[in-house]
Amino acid sequence: MSGSPQLPGASTASLDPQARSVPPLGGFSPGLVAIELRRLLRNRRTVIFTLVVPVLFFLLFGLNSAYATNRVGDGNESAFIMISMALYGAVLATASGGAMVSVERLQGWSRQLRITPLQPVAYIAIKMATSLALGLLAVVAVFAVGVLTHKPAMPLGTWLASGMALWLGSLLFAAFGLFVGYLLPSENVMQIIGFSLMLFSFGGGLFIPLSQFSHPLRVLATFTPLYGLNQLVHYPLVQGGFHWSWVANLVVWLVLFVAGAAWRFRKDTARV
């Protein structure tokens, strides 16, 4: 009889194989990302913390009139602060996107998805893409407000380069969000993410320049997860010396977060 192409030898005569196609890309589709993004944006807390707060921080800390005249690399200090705040927004956004898995496990949605053809890797890809989409909104929000205030100044290429670096680099924190989301199946996971990212932001020098830290604290700060990324996203603006230790910091944390998320993900077969 008509044997299925995917299962040679299996007796599937009573079934119609062509009516039983498996979704392409393991179930990943832009439509699913759109639904996920709409869901995230429906959450008022997420919108406030990822889109509104970074903009407010920029308006509070980035508009000092001296900052518009203080030169940094090809631009000014206001642009420098805008990039810091955009990074803060982007990492909050991607971490929130990753941490969605926590609530989804709690509500049994992950289990429900396991009785669909959605492949686990595709599910993670959907989370990553959703995180990136929200991250992009966060970057665009801060940059757009920056443009409207006329204070930050840097060459167009630098806007684009640092924007891209910010956006893609923030994917590191999508992995962080996934890890924490799988580790802590709790409704409070967002508070924990918010608190950790606040700490990381200080450690990375996003809020206060590291030069104002005491020496031991400064050394410690260079090992925190936002340090390398923060240096890298400012590089297009600041230029000057490039340090491979920034890249090393980023790569090591990426490996740790991805390994952590993968480890918890594998354990995630328990009944919710």
Partner 1 sequence: MAGGDGAGKGSPGRGHGTGGCVAAVELVGVEKHYGSVQAVRGVDLRIEPGEVVAFLGPNGAGKTTTMDLVLGLAAPTRGQVSVFGMPPREAVRRGLVSAVLQSGGLLKDLTVAETVAYTARLFPSGRAPEEVLERAGIAAIAGRLVGKCSGGEQQRLRFAMALLPDPKLLLLDEPTQGMDVEGRRSFWAAIRQDTAAGRTVVFATHYLEEADSYADRVVLVRRGRIVADGTAAEVKALAAGRTVRATLAEPDVATLRVLPGVDRVEVRGSTVLVHGTDSDAVARYLLTRTPAKDLEITALGLEEAFVALTGDDQEALGTGEGRRRR
Ligand X SMILES: Nc1ncnc2c1ncn2[C@@H]1O[C@H](COP(=O)(O)OP(=O)(O)OP(=O)(O)O)[C@@H](O)[C@H]1O
What residues line the site for ligand X (CB under 6 A)?
270-271
Give me the residues that bind partner 1 (CB under 8 A), please: 7, 9-15, 19-24, 27, 29, 31-32, 35, 38-39, 42-43, 103-104, 107-109, 111-112, 114-118, 120, 266, 269, 271-272
The least distance separating ligand X from the CB of residue 127, rounded to whole angstroms, comes to: 25
Nearer to ligand X, 156 or 270 (CB): 270
Task: Say which entry of ligand X, partner 1, none residue 21 contacts (CB below 5 to 8 A, set by partner kind).
Answer: partner 1
The least distance separating partner 1 from the CB of residue 21, rounded to whole angstroms, comes to: 5
Q: Are 97 and 37 in contact (CB under 8 A)?
A: no
Nearer to partner 1, 113 or 247 (CB): 113
Task: Say which entry of ligand X, partner 1, none residue 7 contacts (CB below 5 to 8 A, set by partner kind).
Answer: partner 1
The least distance separating ligand X from the CB of residue 106, rounded to whole angstroms, comes to: 15
Nearest residue to ligand X, by Cβ distance, number only: 271
Nearest CA to 25 out of 172, 110, 124 is that of 124
SS3 per-residue string spanning the chain: CCCCCCCCCCCCCCCCHHHCCCCHHHHCCHHHHHHHHHHHHHCHHHHHHHHHHHHHHHHHHCCCHHHHHCEECCEEHHHHHHHHHHHHHHHHHHHHHHHHHHHHHHCCHHHHHCCCCCCHHHHHHHHHHHHHHHHHHHHHHHHHHHHHHCCCCCCHHHHHHHHHHHHHHCHHHHHHHHHHHHHCCCCCHHHHHHHHHHHHHHHHCCCCCHHHCCHHHHHHHCCCCCHHHHHHHHHHHHCCCCCHHHHHHHHHHHHHHHHHHHHHHHHCCCCC
The least distance separating partner 1 from the CB of residue 43, rounded to whole angstroms, comes to: 7
Task: Say which entry of ligand X, partner 1, none residue 147 contacts (CB below 5 to 8 A, set by partner kind).
Answer: none
> Count of residues for the chain?
272
The least distance separating partner 1 from the CB of residue 20, rounded to whole angstroms, comes to: 4
Task: Say which entry of partner 1, ligand X, none residue 9 contacts (CB below 5 to 8 A, set by partner kind).
Answer: partner 1
- For the chain, the first-to-last Cα distance in angstroms comes to 41
The least distance separating ligand X from the CB of residue 271, rounded to whole angstroms, comes to: 4
Nearer to partner 1, 105 or 151 (CB): 105
The least distance separating partner 1 from the CB of residue 2, rounded to whole angstroms, comes to: 14
Nearer to ligand X, 108 or 209 (CB): 108
Task: Say which entry of partner 1, ligand X, none residue 27 contacts (CB below 5 to 8 A, set by partner kind).
Answer: partner 1
Interacting residues of 121 by C-beta distance below 8 A, sequence separation 6+:
26
38 token code pair:
């709409």
Task: Say which entry of partner 1, ligand X, none residue 272 contacts (CB below 5 to 8 A, set by partner kind).
Answer: partner 1
Nearer to ligand X, 267 or 271 (CB): 271
